[in-house]
Amino acid sequence: MGIPPEREDVKQQVLYLSQITMKSHLLESPISKCPLYLACHHLKTERIQRDWERQGDAGSEGQKLTVCPIINGEDHLRLLNFQHNFITRIQNISNLQKLISLDLYDNQIEEISGLSTLRCLRVLLLGKNRIKKISNLENLKSLDVLDLHGNQITKIENINHLCELRVLNLARNFLSHVDNLNGLDSLTELNLRHNQITFVRDVDNLPCLQHLFLSFNNISSFDSVSCLADSSSLSDITFDGNPIAQESWYKHTVLQNMMQLRQLDMKRITEEERRMASVLAKKEEEKKRESHKQSLLKEKKRLTINNVARQWDLQQQRVANIATNEDRKDSDSAQDPCQIDGSTLSAFPEETGPLDSGLNNALQGLSVIDTYLVEVDGDTLSLYGSGALESLDRNWSVQTAGMITTVSFTFIEFDEIVHVLPKLKIKFPNSLHLKFKETNLVMLQQFNALAQLRRVDQLTIDPQGNPVVNFTLWKYYVLFRLSHFSMQKINGTEVTQNDMIMAERLFGILAHVASSELPQYRLISILGDARKKQFRYLLESKGKKPGIINEENNDSKRLVGENTNRATLNYTTRDFYNEKLEEIKEKKKFCKTYIEDLVKEATEINMKNEALQKLWPQMFIELVRDAVIEIRNKNSYMKLCLQQITDQK
Partner 1 sequence: MLSPERLALPDYEYLAQRHVLTYMEDAVCQLLENREDISQYGIARFFTEYFNSVCQGTHILFREFSFVQATPHNRVSFLRAFWRCFRTVGKNGDLLTMKEYHCLLQLLCPDFPLELTQKAARIVLMDDAMDCLMSFSDFLFAFQIQFYYSEFLDSVAAIYEDLLSGKNPNTVIVPTSSSGQHRQRPALGEAGMLEGVEASLFYQCLENLCDRHKYSCPPPALVKEALSNVQRLTFYGFLMALSKHHGINQALGALPDKGDLMHDPAMDEELERLVVRSKLHRTSRQHRAKEPGAFGFQRREKQEALERVSSASVPTPYHYRWEPRE
Taking CB under 8 A as the binding criterion, the range among 204-212, 437-445, 536-544, 630-638 that sits at the site for partner 1 is 437-445
* Three-class SS state of 631: helix
By CB under 8 A, tell whether 57 contacts partner 1: no
The binder of partner 1 chosen from 207, 402, 528, 561 (CB under 8 A): 528
Residues 576-635 that bind partner 1 (CB under 8 A): 577, 581, 584, 587-588, 590-592, 594-596, 598-599, 602-603, 606-607
Residue 51 to residues 75, 93, 395, Cα–Cα distance (Å) = 19, 18, 101
CA dist., res. 578 & res. 582, Å (int): 6
Going by C-beta distance under 8 Å and a sequence separation of 6 or more, which residues neighbour residue 601?
Answer: none
Query: Helices 520-540 and 546-567, interaxial angle, to 10°?
Result: 150
By CB under 8 A, tell whether 449 contacts partner 1: no
Residues 173-202 that bind partner 1 (CB under 8 A): none
Q: How far is the CB of 252 from partner 1 (least distance, A)?
A: 58
Q: How far is the CB of 464 from partner 1 (least distance, A)?
A: 18
Is 459 in contact with 428 (CB distance < 8 Å)?
no
What's the one-letter identity of residue 69?
A: P
Q: Which residues pair with 101 in a beta bridge?
A: 79, 123
Closest C-alpha among 480, 476, 422 to residue 454: 422
Taking CB under 8 A as the binding criterion, the range among 135-143, 297-305, 376-384, 516-524 that sits at the site for partner 1 is 516-524
The binder of partner 1 chosen from 6, 19, 60, 329 (CB under 8 A): 329
CA dist., res. 555 & res. 568, Å (int): 16
CA dist., res. 172 & res. 193, Å (int): 6
CA dist., res. 216 & res. 196, Å (int): 8
Measured between its terminal Cα atoms, the distance across the chain in Å is 174
Give the nearer residue to partner 1 in terms of CB position, either 235 or 572: 572
Mark 494-517 as b/e (b = at least 16 C-beta within 10 Å). ebeeebbebbeeebeeebeebbee
Taking CB under 8 A as the binding criterion, the range among 183-191, 239-247, 303-311, 513-521 that sits at the site for partner 1 is 513-521
By CB under 8 A, tell whether 510 contacts partner 1: yes
The binder of partner 1 chosen from 512, 536, 625, 639 (CB under 8 A): 512
Around Cβ 467, how many Cβ atoms within 10 Å? 14
| Interface with partner 1: number of residues (CB under 8 A) | 63
CA dist., res. 160 & res. 176, Å (int): 19
Closest C-alpha among 365, 477, 372 to residue 416: 372
Q: How far is the CB of 615 from partner 1 (least distance, A)?
A: 18
By CB under 8 A, tell whether 513 contacts partner 1: yes
Q: How far is the CB of 505 from partner 1 (least distance, A)?
A: 6
Taking CB under 8 A as the binding criterion, the range among 119-127, 260-268, 398-406, 562-570 that sits at the site for partner 1 is 562-570
By CB under 8 A, tell whether 497 contacts partner 1: yes
Taking CB under 8 A as the binding criterion, the range among 153-161, 286-294, 409-417, 468-476 that sits at the site for partner 1 is 468-476
What x-and-dash track marks residues 134-163 binding partner 1 by CB under 8 A?
------------------------------
CA dist., res. 519 & res. 429, Å (int): 35
Taking CB under 8 A as the binding criterion, the range among 51-59, 269-277, 456-464, 511-519 that sits at the site for partner 1 is 511-519
The binder of partner 1 chosen from 294, 333, 343, 636 (CB under 8 A): 333
DSSP class of residue 95?
T
Going by C-beta distance under 8 Å and a sequence separation of 6 or more, which residues neighbour residue 371?
Answer: 304, 307, 308, 311, 385, 387
CA dist., res. 238 & res. 169, Å (int): 15
Taking CB under 8 A as the binding criterion, the range among 234-242, 409-417, 551-559, 561-569 that sits at the site for partner 1 is 561-569
Give the nearer residue to partner 1 in terms of CB position, either 587 or 632: 587
Closest C-alpha among 119, 117, 85 to residue 103: 85
Q: How far is the CB of 529 from partner 1 (least distance, A)?
A: 10
The binder of partner 1 chosen from 330, 575, 622, 626 (CB under 8 A): 330
Is 437 in contact with 410 (CB distance < 8 Å)?
yes
Is 425 in contact with 453 (CB distance < 8 Å)?
yes
By CB under 8 A, tell whether 472 contacts partner 1: yes
By CB under 8 A, tell whether 169 contacts partner 1: no
| Residues within the interface to partner 1 (CB under 8 A) | 328-330, 332-333, 443-445, 467-468, 470-473, 483, 486, 497, 500-502, 504-514, 517-522, 524-526, 528, 562, 565, 568-569, 572, 577, 581, 584, 587-588, 590-592, 594-596, 598-599, 602-603, 606-607
